[in-house]
Amino acid sequence: MAGNGASQAGSPRYPDLVIVGAGLFGLTVAQQAVEHTGARVHIIDVRGHIGGNAYSYFDEETGAEIHQYGAHLFHTSNKRVWEYVNRFTEFTDYVHRVYATHDGVVYPLPINLGTINQFFRAAYTPAEARAVIEEQAGELAGTDPQNLNDKGIQLIGRPLYEAFIKNYTGKQWQTDPSELPASIIKRLPVRFNYDNRYFKDTWEGLPRDGYTKWMERMIDDPRITVGLGVDFFDESQPYNKKALQAAGVPVVYTGPIDRYFDYELGDLKWRTVDFKEVRYDEGDHFGCPVMNFSDADVPYTRAIEFKNFNPERRDSQNPDRTVVWQEYSRFAERGDEPYYPINTDEDRKLYAQYEAKAKAEPKTVFGGRLGTYKYYDMHQVIDTALTAYETQVAPLLNK
């Protein structure tokens, strides 16, 4: 494997690989590069911590593990990913279940036979419930609506749609659902049984020692170094884009792809999330980790009560105090944390242009949500990182 020494006197001796972004994609690639090639890897991140959006910390007052960028729940049916992550952490037996408050009543989600019977104050069998929902689709049954509002009615009937989806979606997108494309909800899961498990994956759980401990173990190797608070585009520090390109150092870039090219073709659009923290003088406020608020008169979409993700830690948590984060959704501007790609036809066309430019960067591998303008769950990020290492990074290191 060729090293990447600096060519000019006084400039730094560069490692074999520089990774921009200490999220799951970058950490996975770093771990794989060291394990398989013995490479020297340096990771930089503009934030002050590793882990990307999966970063968590422990709240001193309550003992709760706070997911700083919103609830992160690990689940997968991918055996390769499950075996890989279990090298670095054990998982609890947590099973995610969500509830929604509508009109002063709490219902289980996703919509299931329990939700349906509670909502209609009925005792429908699965067949009866199916017939009721088909009837409630009314004139939209069997059609192909182009806007989200009509598509929602077609899929689950008007009463359930208006109770649980319409206003929640309006708050999420800050747009009337009749003005949103139907593609946003290609399907709305309705279960005609009493299964209220949110995910259907083979494996599910939360890292027993917390997300940050998991990430730290991934890069616990002297050949991996980390620089935090370091901006890839700041030319006053040595690991900047221009200097690394001049030195011919392979780079894995997990930041926004439009930022890499200085937004020269325009900005890709994202949604972001703001959080408002509320603390209560009680041990448990909601009785569940996530409570959705389906009505328009509640300005936030959902509330997260972090203590309830980890009931196995009850003995180390404060029985008299709890912390809740209310979640507000809005369109992102430059400088905001980008969470969800908006992915309009216009955005996809713009990304395709940036993707073409990325392919002309022979020593840079683009990955992660921001680098590929895709929404990924954690297991998908890891899977794509393992594949990217094998198909794109390893060939650069073995030259």
* Beta strands 105-109 and 98-102, pairing class: antiparallel
**What secondary structure, in 3-state letters, does 167-180 show?**
HHHHHHHCCCHHHC
For residue 3, how far is the Cα from the chain centroid?
Answer: 35
Number of H helices, E strands in the chain: 14, 16
- The answer to whether residue 121 is catalytic is no
Question: Which of these is catalytic: 16, 107, 191, 373?
Answer: 191
Handedness of CA 224, 249, 54, 34 (dihedral sign): negative
The SS3 call for residue 36 is helix
Question: Which of these is catalytic: 93, 103, 144, 187?
Answer: 187
- Whether the CB-CB separation of 83 and 94 falls below 8 Å is answered with no
Buried residues in 370-390 as b, exposed as e (16+ CB within 10 A):
bbbbeebebbbbbbbbbebbe
The SS3 call for residue 349 is helix
- The answer to whether residue 187 is catalytic is yes
Q: Which amino acid is at 242?
A: K
- The answer to whether residue 369 is catalytic is no
Question: Which of these is catalytic: 128, 201, 216, 377?
Answer: 377
- The answer to whether residue 375 is catalytic is yes
- Whether the CB-CB separation of 265 and 354 falls below 8 Å is answered with yes
Question: Which of these is catalytic: 45, 65, 150, 271?
Answer: 271
Spatial neighbors of 393 by CB under 8 A, at least 6 apart, are: 17, 29, 32, 33, 250, 252, 365
- The answer to whether residue 302 is catalytic is yes
- Whether the CB-CB separation of 200 and 177 falls below 8 Å is answered with no
- The answer to whether residue 216 is catalytic is no
Question: Which of these is catalytic: 327, 351, 354, 383?
Answer: 327
Question: Which of these is catalytic: 179, 346, 375, 390?
Answer: 375
Question: Which of these is catalytic: 302, 305, 351, 389?
Answer: 302
- The answer to whether residue 377 is catalytic is yes
Gyration radius from the chain CA atoms: 23
Q: CA-to-CA distance for 257 and 267, rounded, in angstroms?
A: 10
Q: CA-to-CA distance for 214 and 375, rounded, in angstroms?
A: 22
Give DSSP secondary structure letters for 38-68: ---EEEEESSSSSSGGG-EEE-TTT--EEET
Residues catalogued as catalytic: 187, 191, 271, 302, 327, 375, 377
